[in-house]
Amino acid sequence: QVQLVESGGGSVQAGGSLRLSCEASGFPLSTYSMGWFRQAPGKEREGVAVIGTDSRTRYAESVKGRFTISKDNAKNILYLQMNSLKPEDTAMYYCAARAGWTLTLGPDRYNYWGQGTQVTVSS
């Protein structure tokens, strides 16, 4: 049974950093493409960063240079290092998985989702 559990969210001031983790179980991370997505109140869910089975990455323009996605296949954990956080980064952050290779930022292409972790950035 595929399961994704996010952690690491919290409240920080603008300019601060957070590292999100997503523990995956029920499948080998090495054979799934993984992504981080976020949804702010009243807005659609959007892709933030994705990593393919070959560890290639893709980022939304709004987070390029500030966020870094990575994974540890041995531990089956996905990470999102978020630096220079801005108030507009405030949202619920979700990790998601899809079998096989992709670098799409489109949420509808991912089959499995975690429950989310809240990130709040104050000015």
Portion of the chain with pLDDT greater than 90, in percent:
100
Instruction: Identify the pLDDT of residue 13.
Output: 98
Residue pair 93/20 in contact by the 8 Å Cβ criterion: yes
Cβ atoms of 59 and 49 within 8 Å: the answer is yes
* Secondary structure (3-state) at 30: helix
Q: Report pLDDT for 42.
A: 95
d(CA 54, CA 93): 23
pLDDT, tens digit, 9 for 90 and up, residues 5-25: 999 999 999 999 999 999 999
Distance CA 98, CA 105 (A): 12
Q: Quick one: pLDDT at residue 24?
A: 97
Burial of 81 (0-12, 13-18, 19+ CB in 10 A): middle
Q: What number is the average pLDDT over the span 84-110? A: 97
The reported pLDDT for the residue numbered 62 is 98
The pLDDT of residue 63 = 98
Residue 82 pLDDT level (bands cut at 50, 70, 90): very high
Helix H or strand E encompassing 17: none
